[in-house]
Amino acid sequence: MPELPEVEVVRAGLAPAVTRATVTGVDVLDRRSLRRHVGAPFEGDLTGRTIESAVRRGKFLWFPLDDGRSLVAHLGMSGQMLLRRPGDTDRFTRVALGIEHPVHGELLVNFADQRIFGGLAIDPLVPTVDGRPGGHAGDATADPVVPERVAHIARDALDPHFDDHAFDRRVRNSRSGIKRILLDQSAISGIGNIYADESLWAAMIAPEQPGVTLSSAQVELLLDEVRAVLRRALAEGGTSFDAQYVNVNGQAGYFAHSLNAYGRHGKPCTRCGSPIVRVAFANRSSHYCPVCQPLR
């Protein structure tokens, strides 16, 4: 599933093209991608609206509209938002948005999703609990609002308003394994299986280490490594293992070549040389070095 770096690459690619653009038409090819939308018909509700910006919190994208609502996008496991010229088609396109930008002219945003776990919806915006910007909007400042369906999602570690002390308290009051906490989007958002494994490897903490056993110094180190891993992945365009993970131009990221733990089971740890192991974890897998990351 796309994680923070992959979603941020999409947001940053779309922002110049969609900000101040007017939606001129909506072509719904598969209504399953609109199953999260409620209320008036999606096509009529969105056509004619002007997009004010592109904002991200964790793995969620939203595009504030000129009527005080937002177009929310979740990529699910295989979703893509591809910026095209009018008439261009992409395989697995489920919804196509025609837009007109005052500078760039007529464009097309294709929401393609092979497995149809993602989707689009129009959602009201609600005030943030802390009164601070709702998410990351690049060089612009996001308003202190979030889509209603995103309100329960925590800030991510790259958000300047993320509360390190609150996260420390949550971790050290929990008997859950630290990887489970990292994947809990109500505790810290944007991290999935890949970047959890990479961050824990970098901090030399076992995935199943109970949060209550960690010191504040260890939690601080882990947050430092989370941020470092996410920033490196952003610099390399995210992690792409196949054609599903691409930017708005259909290009793949290459952080997969920099991974130290995820997907490297049986290969030597780049730090100590011991084989990386893979163990079952919540219907997926954890990858870690049993020598560098012993359960204490």
Percent of the chain's residues with pLDDT above 90: 84
- Higher-pLDDT residue of 1 and 18 is 18
Q: Which candidate, 29, 48, 42, 173, places its Cα nearest to that of 99?
A: 48
Mean pLDDT score across all residues of the chain: 92
* pLDDT over 80 at 136, yes or no: yes
Q: State pLDDT tens for residues 71-110.
A: 999 999 889 999 999 999 899 999 999 999 999 999 999 9
Residue 60 pairs in a beta bridge with 57, 74
Q: Is it true that 4-150 and 164-288 share their CATH fold?
A: no
Of 193, 211, 206, the C-alpha closest to 283 is 193
CA distances for 99 relative to 80, 94, 119, angstroms: 17, 16, 19
Query: For the chain, what are the domain ranges?
Result: 4-150, 164-288
Tens digit of each residue's pLDDT (9 = 90 or more) over 220-240: 999 999 999 999 988 887 554
Q: Are 161 and 155 in contact (CB under 8 A)?
A: yes
The enclosing H or E element of 107 equals strand 105-113
* Choices 3.60.130.10, 3.40.640.10, 3.30.70.20, 1.10.8.50: CATH for 164-288: 1.10.8.50
Nearest to 195 by CA among 156, 166, 161: 156
Dist. CA 180–CA 105, nearest whole Å? 45
Catalytic (active-site) positions: 2-3, 59, 284
65-79, 102-116, 167-181, 247-261: which range is least confident on average?
247-261
CA separation for the pair 155, 163 (Å, rounded): 8
Q: Which CATH number fits domain 4-150: 3.40.50.300, 3.30.413.10, 3.20.190.10, 3.40.50.720?
A: 3.20.190.10
Whether the pLDDT of residue 241 is over 70: the answer is no
Does the pLDDT value for residue 244 go beyond 60?
no
- Region for residue 22 given its phi and psi (left: phi exceeds 0; alpha: psi -120 to 50; beta: otherwise): beta
Query: Which SS3 state, helix, strand or coil, does residue 112 take?
Result: strand
Among the listed residues 207, 221, 223, 212, the one whose alpha carbon sits nearest the alpha carbon of residue 171: 212
Judging by DSSP bridges, how do beta strands 22-28 and 105-113 pair with one another?
Answer: unpaired
Of 212, 31, 244, 182, nearest to 121 (Cα)? 31
Structure confidence at residue 240 (pLDDT): 42
Q: Convert the pLDDT of each residue in 10-43 to its tens digit.
A: 999 999 999 999 999 999 999 999 999 998 899 9
HSE-up (13 A, CA, CB side) for residue 102 = 5
